[in-house]
Structure 1
């Protein structure tokens, strides 16, 4: 009986120690995950702050300077007598200046969409899809449900915008698609993001070893929002990406 009791005590002790070790390993894993999320949040916030600063410098600084130069040239033109050849050269230079101003504004908008800051996520995504349509590279249909009236944290909105931006840019670069759908919904505190295209598709197993910066940034943003990612694709049958994020 004493031997049996000792054996039971040893078994109980080993079981307790094993359970304690498992709990400790689980806690360490949780702390490491939290640490990674905090680091990812710091990187993303720093990145967006830098984007905002650069966008403002480009739009208000350099863009404003070029607009001032254009106005000065137009004033000079009224007080100068030029030959037809010089006039043609002057007009070409003005066209180039206009193109430079438009390009600066486009880059600034891409870095930090003004509509996102002023009107929210729904308006910014709608503008983004319209810009893609106008470029002629891809026909994008945008749909949103329950999003317009929702209060979404600005950092969350920016991150979701970057996720959609990356997904559509990947479609343009790699999918050889002609049409795509972007659908964003909000229901019961859950934001769902879905993109689908009619492209050539691919074997999703390659994503396990994908090391591209774009894919890495996408995963970091989804992890920052504690979201769930589901990618479905078959060769010749297009690609569907679904992401769910808790907005509570």
Structure 2
């Protein structure tokens, strides 16, 4: 019986190890699948944005060349100017996509540092005047920082890709019992009531992320007057998130 007992213990131990190995393998596969999905998304973005912009650039360049041959130098200025505009936009979008391939480690860096690095690496290099204003902002639970960062990322992407903004300010503050983040740009603006989720802008995604952490998003914009995206999360909700994710006794 003693020998049989040891054999059973050995079998249980081996099966436990096998189960753990299987779980680790499945976890690795899920991680690889997620990475592949994200890279495919970025590849599609690269094709749909930068590739198309560069293709348009070549068309305008070819048109300018033919006009130079057939009509002399008259009326070429508009084509050359358009080449410059498209080239600048392609460069902005390329830098943005490259940055997204190397997302910050929020858990290690924290929200404030991650946002500052984003503004320096993308907006700063794209010629957009960008600044981050922080009002005694404390470290938040990981899930809250993650969702706030993704909302900020979406709003900043819109300012860069759709709004043609020359400047953007990102505010982080705590007031009246709530955590607030606001992204304000001086771009072309739009009417949120007419276009509540304009293609590619991710407005619904921002609202969904805010709701996930018990917050809300307010979008203010008018054509020609820039855009403000404001996220508010009640301090009590943040404290509840911290309690849920904190160490268990």
Query: TM-score interval w.r.t. the shorter chain?
Result: 0.5 to 0.7
**1:198 maps onto 2:177 in alignment:** no
Q: How many angstroms apart in 2 are the aligned matches of 1:104 and 1:211?
A: 18
TM-score when normalising by structure 1: 0.52
Segments of structure 1 that go 5 or more residues without pairing to the other structure are: 1-48, 59-101
**1:109 maps onto 2:99 in alignment:** no
- Is the CA contact 1:140–1:179 (under 8 Å) kept in the aligned structure 2? yes
How far did residue 134 of structure 1 move?
A: 3.4
Match of 2:110 among 115, 120, 126: 120
**Paired position in structure 1 for 2:209:** 221
**Paired position in structure 2 for 1:136:** 126
**Paired position in structure 1 for 2:147:** 159
**1:179 maps onto 2:160 in alignment:** no
Q: How many angstroms apart in 1 are the aligned matches of 2:160 and 2:200?
A: 16
Q: How many angstroms apart in 1 are the aligned matches of 2:201 and 2:149?
A: 17
TM-score when normalising by structure 2: 0.52
How far did residue 209 of structure 1 move?
A: 5.6
How far did residue 132 of structure 1 move?
A: 2.0
| CA radius of gyration, larger in | 1
How far did residue 175 of structure 1 move?
A: 0.8
How far did residue 217 of structure 1 move?
A: 1.6
- Is the CA contact 1:146–1:187 (under 8 Å) kept in the aligned structure 2? no
Q: How many angstroms apart in 1 are the aligned matches of 2:183 and 2:97?
A: 29
SS of the residue 2:194 aligns to: helix
**1:146 maps onto 2:136 in alignment:** yes
Higher normalized helix content (fraction of residues): 1
Q: How many angstroms apart in 2 are the aligned matches of 1:170 and 1:220?
A: 17
User: CA RMSD for the aligned pairs?
Assistant: 3.2
Segments of structure 2 that go 5 or more residues without pairing to the other structure are: 1-29, 40-94, 240-249
Distance 1:195 1:219, change over 3 A: same
How far did residue 119 of structure 1 move?
A: 2.6
